[in-house]
Amino acid sequence: MLSALALGVLLAACDPSPASIALRQGKRPPVTPPPPAADTVATLATAMPPAEREATPPEPASPGDPAPADERVPVANEPIAPDGDATIEEAGDKTGDDNTLELLGQQIPPGTSARLTWAASEVFEGVSTATPVLVVNGKRDGPVLCLTAAIHGDELNGIEMVRRVMHEVEPDKLRGAVIGVPIVNLQGFRRGSRYLPDRRDLNRYFPGNPTGSSAARIAYSLFENIVRRCDALVDLHTGSFYRTNLPQLRADLRYRNVREMTQAFGGMAVLHSEPALGTLRRAATEAGIPTVTLEAGEPLRLQSSKVSEGVTGIFALLSSQGMVRRVQLLRTPEPVFYESNWVRADHGGILFAVVRLGQEVSAGDVLGTVTDPITNQQNLIYASNGGRVLGMAVNQVVMPGFAAFRIGIETDGPPASMLATAEWGQTEMGGAPPTDEPAAEAGEPTAVEDADLEETS
């Protein structure tokens, strides 16, 4: 297929803006006058014509019937699935000739907002689970930015970030489109759990499989029906398992389009990390969709300041792509790139931190105390190197070996070794062939442990 993606890449090559998300499409001006802008989430539902309200997948799919959605499109990197009634080309056409956005079987005219329903999964009773998808299709043509939150159902800050962004973006002033999935893992969210009901981590199953496990099918449906419509993706997370993160981006900086995307967030900290297999970030990046994870705060809490920082970063991204206009009173600060390592507790007991998130520390500084509640024996945790506290455990009882503090080491930019072309060759990537692991990786936790911590967020 000559996909929209390939076409977009082609067009992007002509784009004078190097930092552009880039997949722009030449379009004629809208042929119909758009309805009034919806300026709150509450009015998203009420301001639009009934046809766009509570849209559901086309017949014969009832809301939530996963099979038709899964079968509609073939898997990109697997043998073709059984014939469906549509192809990627049809389903994946981002915009029609008049800037109409096609998504989930619905048409969203330019200059309008819509609330759609993505139905990928069933709960045990066989009843459909319909997940809301918010869309703002701008009056003018431009990139499609997607926001996904709560792939881990207990990570709440991202849900609020999506709400605020979708609330603030005005369809008649937007260039391009923003698609927000506030609660990807609705089943986990309802139970206050990171996982799906079968204890699987959804963020290990992308790009999914239409005939695989429940998690693989959900991942597949999200990936084919929504993610492939995106020109760029921000996946919103928090720390996990009683850990909290400084608002930061996780990005595979070996990809040029990903690097450029991180720089568009303004001054947000950027941590290079090669995503674990099965993460949405990895699958989307490999599919040529520049993707970052935006980490902020801790799970099971709503933290207004963390949410605000994330929203500010997302709007900086939108602004840098020319999707929204924002008056910048101050020059946007440059991002700061980090490598990192974890400092672990060598003793079990009650952990109290003596540093705060974002604090600069020097090698040998005391980061926290671990006290045995029975013997009153106290041990200190020291910084093994100087840097900035990018992530840390909240105060709790810990076991020896518990990763307690993540210290970020500032770099001048993405290290040269990270600028190499990744093995997952993509047209957007630049640089030399891959080199060995960065030296900084030596002595860090094992790949499995590190990946675990990396993405359990």
For residue 431, the minimal CB distance to Zn ion (Å) is 29
Among 204, 360, 175, smallest CA distance to 269 is for: 360
Whole-number Å distance between alpha carbons of 185 and 196 = 7
CB-based contacts of 382, cutoff 8 Å, min separation 6: 343, 364, 365, 366, 367
Please identify, using beta-carbon distances, which residue of 138 and 239 lies nearer to Zn ion. 239
| Cβ proximity of 222 and 279 under 8 Å | no
Binding mask of the shown chain, residues 398 to 437, with x at each position contacting Zn ion by CB under 5 A: ----------------------------------------
Residues 151-210 that bind Zn ion (CB under 5 A): 152, 155
Determine the Cα–Cα distance for residues 400 and 402; give it in Å rounded to an integer: 6
341: nearest Cα among 260, 288, 395, 404: 404
All residues at 6 or more sequence positions from 123 whose CB lies less than 8 Å from its CB, including other chains: 129, 187, 197
CB 161, min distance to Zn ion, A = 13
Nearer to Zn ion, 152 or 254 (CB): 152
Comparison of 116 and 271: residue with beta carbon closer to Zn ion: 271
* Closest among 264, 277, 281 to 320, alpha carbons compared: 264
Question: With respect to Zn ion, which residue has the nearer C-beta, 37 or 196?
Answer: 196
How far apart are CB 240 and Zn ion at their closest, in Å? 6
Least distance to Zn ion, CB of residue 215, Å = 14
The β-bridge partners of 222 are: none
Token pair in block for residue 43: 């009015």
Which residue's CB atom is positioned nearest to Zn ion?
Answer: 237
- Return the number of the residue (139 or 237) whose C-beta is nearest Zn ion: 237
Contact letters for Zn ion, residues 52-91 (x by CB under 5 A): ----------------------------------------
Q: Give the C-alpha separation, 391 to 376, whole Å.
A: 27
Residue closer to Zn ion (CB basis): 258 or 296: 296
**3-state SS, one letter per residue, for 16-84:** CCCCCCCCCCCCCCCCCCCCCCCCCHHHHHHCCCHHHCCCCCCCCCCCCCHHHHHHHCCCCCCCCCCCC
Task: Tell me how far, at minimum, the Cβ of 377 lies from Zn ion, in Å.
Answer: 35
119-158 positions binding Zn ion, by CB under 5 A: 152, 155
Q: Is the omega angle on the peptide bond into residue 35 within 30 degrees of 0, that is, cis?
A: no
| φ, ψ (nearest 5 deg) of residue 99 | 75, 10
Ramachandran area for residue 228 (φ above 0: left; ψ -120 to 50: alpha; else beta): alpha
DSSP 286: H
Least distance between Zn ion and beta carbon 145 (Å): 20
CB of 3 to Zn ion, least distance (A): 29
In the complex, least distance from residue 257 CB atom to Zn ion, rounded to whole angstroms: 23
Q: In this complex, which beta carbon is closest to Zn ion, that of residue 117 or of residue 240?
A: 240
Looking at the Cβ atoms of 136 and 205, the one nearer to Zn ion is 205
Residue 296 CB, nearest distance to Zn ion (Å)? 11
CB 235 → Zn ion: shortest distance, Å? 8
User: Based on CB atoms, which residue is closest to Zn ion, 153 or 210?
Assistant: 153
In terms of CB distance, is 294 or 361 closer to Zn ion?
Answer: 294
Footprint on residues 218-257 left by Zn ion (CB under 5 A): 237
Total binding residues for Zn ion by CB under 5 A? 4
How far apart CA 307 and CA 84 sit, in angstroms, is 40
306 sits near Zn ion (criterion: CB under 5 A): no
Half-sphere exposure of 451 (CA within 13 A, CB side): 12
Which residues, in sequence order, are CB contacts of 393 under 8 Å at separation 6+? Answer: 242, 243, 244, 351, 353, 402, 403, 404, 405
Interacting residues toward Zn ion by CB under 5 A: 152, 155, 237, 457
